[in-house]
Structure 1
C-alpha cells in the first residue's frame, strides 16, 4: 500500500535532512510524496539543501552560491554524505515517488527557474514533480516557461487574494502552514480542483485530525508515526 503523504526533506528524524539516504528512507517506507529544498551553485547547478548557507548541515561554512558543485561536493554532511544535486535526487525518485520541489530564496539565484524547469523536462518528470515557493514571482516565471509544469504558492496564512493568484497561475497545488488551515479553505480548494498541502504535522493527534479530510496532502517529519495511522 502506498502511503498518501509527504515526507518532509525525506526522513529527517532518522537521517540527515535533504540527503539521498533520507529520500531513500521515504521511498522504502512507501510514501507517495517527498519534499526537498533547492538553491543553486556558483556554476548554475540546482542543489538540495534547506538553508542558503552550508554552515548548519556540513563541515564547511559560507553561501551555496559562492561554491561550484565540485567544491560543494568536498564538504560532508554527518559522517559521510554529500550535498545532493537536484538531478541526483530526482534520478532516485523516478517512477518511485512524487517530488515537491521548494525554490528557496530564488532572488539569490538569477535563472534558477529556467534551470529547474530544464532539468524536470530533461528527466521527463513533469507528471512526477511540482514546484512550490513563497516567492510567487518565481512561480509566474515558471508558468511562462511551461503550461505543463505543476506549481503552487506556499503561504503562512490564507488570504482571498491567494485564490485569485492560484487562478492566474493556473496552479495545481496550494501549500499552507498547518495552523492557518480552516475547513472553509479545505472546501474551497476541493471546489477549485486544487491540491491542498499542509505542513508540517508531527503529532499523532494532529495527524488523525487532518486525516478526517482525505483531500489534504499532509507533510510530516515523523514518517513511521504517519505510516502507523495510515494503515
Structure 2
C-alpha cells in the first residue's frame, strides 16, 4: 500500500529517483487511470500524471474521479499536486511558486462529486480545502532548501481549454483571486470527499490576459515550466521525507452524510 502520492503534469516526474518503479493501470468505476509505483525513502510512492500518458488530455477531459478513486484504492492518504497557472498580479511574476490555500470555482461541465445517488445526501466541509497540515510541511521543506515560495493564495479554476479574457481576469482580481488554472477543481474536492489530505504548489508560468498587454502563447507556458519544474520536484521529494508537524487536520472527517 502507498501512503503518499504526487499528481502533476509532464516534467514533474523523475522516475529515476524511485527504486523499483513500475507503471501500472487500474480500471475504476469512473474509467481507467495510469500511474507509476516506486520506492523512495523506504516508502511506496504513487506518481499520477493528471493528463494521462504523454499529456494528451485537456483539463476539462481529465478523469478526475478515476484518478482520485485509484489513489484511494492504493491506500493513499496524502496527495501533493502541482499545476501551471497564470498570475493575476504583476508582483507575482513567472517562476513564482505558490502554496495555494483557497479556490474559486468557475468550471462548468465536469463531474464534481462522488456523491451523486443521494443515498445518503452528503456535504463536504471546504473551510480548509488545501490541507493546512501538508501546506505547513511544504513551507518548512522550502525553508530548509532556501527555496522562495508564496505561502497562501487563491486559485481560480476555469473550465478551459481556452485561456481567459482580460475582462474575466479583472473580475477574478476583484474577487480576490491570485492565480488562474484549469485543474484544481474538482481534484481537491474529490480528495476531500474521500478523506485524503491534498495540497498543491502552483507554478506561475505567465501573466494572465491583460496584465502586461502581451499575447499569451502555450509555448511560453512550456518554456517557463521547463526552466523551473526542477524546483517543484526537489520540493516534493524533500517533503516526502519530512516528519509530520504536530498539528492535525480535519480532512478525514470533512464529508458529512445527512440523516434521512
Structure 1 length-normalised TM: 0.32
Higher relative contact order (CA 8 A, sep 6+): 2
| TM-score using structure 2 length | 0.29
